[in-house]
A and B are shown apart, each in its own frame.
Chain A
Amino acid sequence: MNIFWTMLRRDLLLAYRRRADVLTSLFFFVIVVSLFPLGVGPERSTLRLIAPGVVWVAALLAAMLSLNRLFAADHQDGTLEQMALAPVPLALIVLAKVLAHWMVSGLPLALMAPVLGLQFDLPGHALGILVISLVLGTPVLSLIGAIGAALTLGLRGGGVLLSLLVLPLYIPVLIFGAGAVESSMIGMSPQGHLSLLGAFLLLALLATPFVAASALKIAME
């Protein structure tokens, strides 16, 4: 377990040293969301209607943006191979890296979302649900994305290919994430959606680190 924390601290430190990268995907998220009112028109009832979907789709794209950096640097300088040879399961290391990735890419999105929700005239309780759904959902995006990042490691055109592989797999998260906000806006309980998101998170936590680890081993053969 020690290696898990060491790994987490290392990746967070590396991310801190390259703050610009983190900020880029956060600004991407903000800009994409802010473009929609300009495209759709400033009608407040329309904006309120599309807000959950827009914020969630933008979150999906922003999470995708930083995914190919998940393993790339460690792969290039050979650190990843050392990690694979280490006497701890590679899945544990993958889990630590994914957690670090989420803390610098997913968590800021979730914290930023209420401000963007205000642009779309979302009511207060819906903003709260939006944050909760993003906190539950974005880790799933990072976890599934880790598989895609491992599969496309070192390939030409890796970034676009990665989005092609991973986006279809994100659909359930998108449906229930946006659905939670939507149902809270029409006065229904979002609990069902949120529990399903939680179930996805548990499933992804249990399964994806192992899948991503074996994909990494294939990529490094």
Chain B
Amino acid sequence: MNWGSWSAFWHMGGYAFYVWGSYAVTLLCVVGECLLLAHRRRTLLKTLNQMHRLGNQDGNETPT
């Protein structure tokens, strides 16, 4: 065990900014990518379902 207490853990031997800065940005990037993918999937399925319900096979024409 490296750390005497949680505060020592968060302190990271004085390098908290560098260590947690790296891990936080990495987490942000990974979570951000997952969220973007989920969002893109939701909107795509929504439009595809709408197109399908309207029976509009082309997808580019506006339904009348």
Q: Do chains A and B touch in the complex (CB under 8 A)?
A: no
Q: Measuring CB to CB, which residues of chain A are less than 8 angstroms from any residue of chain B?
A: none
